[in-house]
Structure formats: C-alpha cells, structure tokens
Chain A
C-alpha cells in the first residue's frame, strides 16, 4: 500500500513536470498567499489546503470537501519599498478573495468543482511598459496588479488519493489606432481627420494540476504543477494624410511587449500531525525564473514625410525616425522557495474550534545584480505570517454547517543591499534598496456540511 502510494505520487509529479503549456511569482497569491488560513501558515499548504483556496495551492484537495463551501474575504498588502532611503510609492495590492466548492459523486467516486477569484478593487489588471533603464521594483510594482481567476476539478479515486487540475484565466491586449485625413498646421480647426480604434482583450489560459496522497491519518504528501503564461501587449498606430497640402505624412508605429510573465512552478509539499491538535506543513516550490521575459516594449517605427516643393524652410526641422531599442537581457536564476507552516487547534469543543497559525517563507531573489543598464530592482525576502481562526458549528438554523472565520497578518522583510553600477556614466548610478510589505486579510466561510463529515 505504501509502495503503491509512493509510485502514484511519483507518477503524478512526473506528469505534472512534463506538462509543457505554460507562468508564476506574480499572481498576487504567489507573493501574498491566498485565503487567510493558508497564508497564515506561510503558504506551505499544498498538502493541507482545502476549500476554495485549494484551487490555487493544490486543485486535488478540492476533493476533500464533502459539502457545499462558500467563502469571501478581503486582503490588503501595503508596500514600503525604499531606494536610497526614499519610499518609491509602490501601490498596494488589495481586493476581494473568494470562491466556492461544489462537491458530489461521479460513478460513485467523490468529485468536486471549485472556482476561486482574487478581484482587485483598484484595477482588474494594469499594463506598464517602462524603459528598461527606469528603476522599478520588478516583483512588486506591476506584476501583482491583476485579477486571479481559476476553475478546477478534482476526484478521489481511492480514499487516500486526490487528483485535480484546472485552468487560470487572463487576457492579453491588442489594439490598433488608425488616423487618416488632412491636417491644417496653420488653422487646426480646419483639419479633417478620421480615426478608427480597434482593441481586443484576448483570453489566455494556463494550466495547473496537483495530486495529494494521504500516507496515514497524520501524514500526507502533495505535488502541484502551475503553468507558464505571458501577458502580451501589442499596439499599433498608423497616421496618414496630407499636411496643409504642402506635403504628405505616413507614420506607422508597432510596439510589442510582454507585460506580465509568470514562469512555471512545481511544488512538493507535506503535512504531518505530530499531535491531534497540531499540524505542521512544508512546501518547496521550484520556479523557472530563467525563462523570464522582461517587460520591455519592442518598437518598430516607419516615418515618411517627403520635403515640400522647394525644400524645408530653414526654421523647420523635419522629424527623424526614432532608433529602435536595444533590449538588454534580464538574467534570472531558477529558485527553490521553502515554506513552513504550523497550525494549533487551541480549543476543541462540541460547537467550536479555535486555531492559532504561523508560517515562514524565504524567497531568494532570482534577479542577478543590476550593475548594467537595466534596473529591475529586487531583494531577497523573509516573510513571517501569523493568524487565527475559529470554526463554529450549527451556529444558526439558516446556516446548517460550519462557519469559519480566519484572519492573518503578514510581514515580508526585504534585505537591504547596495547595487553598484559598472559604468560611472550610468544615469541612475549606485543605489541602496530594501523595504517591506505588510499584509492582512480576513476570510469568512460557510461549509454546508454537518461537522465531522468533511475529511
């Protein structure tokens, strides 16, 4: 039995690793966690997660649910990122977290469907294509400003095994601006210009899958794969027409960039209960940062303005075609991120349980020293989290099940260090950078299931 479980786990991990479709530490959940219980446990949750949060941590764990589960909560992370002692004003990440799990049976086999959502309340998604020289907190400035939406299925073919998978959704942006007509540079009001705008938000999906093996009542292992995705931004503009009947102008601009890239991840984790009221967890997440595509726009410009009859007046300097950008590669290294968590059931009564939780994560920055032209600033980070939860059973006749209320607080402390530039003619120069983020969240859930039936 133990050998069969080990083989199943290895096979599932191999299958997960071989999936080629493909992104990571820039979902907001990657950085700040998802769901108060799991976040409070340091994100070390692949083997211990359940409910709506399983759609992110391990879709297989959805099959642990036996009753309809609804959850909603709020989350906020405030950044205090400093460069040379000055706060650079990195925007907070905040919004609703929630989801539902609908369990059932399929051919006599436990089955569950889950959907989860992180809905930012500032912006659904943000597009930024900065100059590659401009300093920015690459891991915190823009990448986490986006929606997270995932839908998953899971089955439990045998009581000790859960398998699950699903898709996450995002959209790329394609846009076109077309202006034609006649421009009067002497009387702008007499210009006759027609413009057309054509923009598409095209859906992209990336997979994630997982497996959970219960080795015993007190131990479980898990493996999770999260795919890679690239959030593209393609814009084009075309301007054509005559300028005061003196000459004609044709300007064509095409720009293409990857606004958000999430590398693929593989998570191996475990859960062990040394005592019936204590759960300890561990996750190791491998992230393929070496495949990262920097968010720099590639610009292609064509400009054709023939000189008017008699040539250009001496006071007029005709515009020149801008030079293309020489994109400097961003070198990143694959990383293994360890996470640890613990949960203590401090109170266990007939109608209520009370939990205390803690967790720790160390994230070694994958970005190599920015000693050259580019300034993708990042620092290694220690994240400590604490939380508490209460599960209330049979609270009211209208709520026939368990009501859970979980809260967490999180401190991500970035190590302060100094970047030294190789070139003394660098316009940014040396800088010292460091900082922290502070996050908190609250999650309310209802499990429409008599206590004791959920696994």
Chain B
C-alpha cells in the first residue's frame, strides 16, 4: 500500500437488472408474482485489478456502458463491490456533478460549510480555506444570498472552488470540466494543472485520447466490464484508437 494511492483488487460488480429500481410495493408484488425478481444478473465489472501509484495520473477509457462510472463509484466508496476490494489512501474528492451537496435554501456561505462537512472535513479546516474559496468562486457579495437565487454558472463555480480548495490526495475527474465562462474555464484548468504538479493522484475519465495523453501518464481501457489494457498512457491510447477504428 505504501506507494499506492489506490488498489483495486479483483473487483466484480453484479447488478440485478430486474429488482433494482423497484421502489414501491405494488411493483415489487407484481414482479414477484411474475417471478422476475431474482433473475437476469448483469456484471458491470468483471475481475478488475489494477493499482495507481501516488502522484500518478490515470486515464480511464472505454466505450459507453463499459463500466467506467461503476468503477469510479466503487473507488469513491459509494458502491460496494460484489466481489473483491478497493483500498484507497488519503482524501478523495469527486468533481462529478458539483451541485449534489448543496441546499437551495442555504446561503452560499452556509453551503460551503455544509458541502465541506459532507466531504468529511472539520470546521477549522474549512475556515482556513474559506477566503480562498470565496475569492476563487468570484461570488463576492452574493455569498450571503440564498443559493436558490444563484445562476447555474454561479453554483458550479462555487462547487468547483470548494472541491479544489480542500486539496484532496485523490481527485476524480469525470468528463472535461465545463464550468462558467471562458475566462473561468481557463482559470480552473490552470488550477487543476497546478494541483497535478503538487503530486495529487488523478483519475481521469475521458473518451478523448488526445486529452488523456495530455494529462495522464498511465491509462487503462475497460470493455464490457473487463480490464483489457493497463500501461503507459501513450501505448494504451494507441490501442484505444485501434479499437475505435475496428468498431
């Protein structure tokens, strides 16, 4: 573990297509009567093993439905794998859909505390980062207005500012960032590059081999839940390009 930030050990993830998503008794009874509840298994991940060293930037590629999101969720600790285990070291900050932790009746200031608390930080820690977050989010005097009065750009700027100010050890980037206007986007890209320079471990999900080659030094490919390639970013990207052609 010492050198690895993430260890994914023989992880398999099974879903039951029929019983999941059933959230009321009527549907449950109907499906039980039709004996549809315990059949049709679906393995979203099949025996996936790899590890990410500290400071590595790992690109995760694969076609739609290959299991990328499922893999990220098991690493983030949101999903528990059916078989196998995931070990991680340090704080993981997911940068996917930044607005998830917010409450619309709360002011921007209160939301900063709430959001950071959800990510498991102490009050003291957040207070230290507070001015930095407000400054970076460019919200100024609006910070005390309730969140429901914010535009979507303001919300995502605030979310981005919090997630990156807390200096996580592992940063999960799902798809390319499209936060705010052009100027803010440039500012946020710079910020992420700066974090990478500081030895943060990055998991980067993308379909674009160009951006994976630019950002990552390692990469993996998933196909129908299986790990088909794991190695240096440029070699894996080459392979991925061939796969796209064959498809």
Check if A and B associate. Answer: no
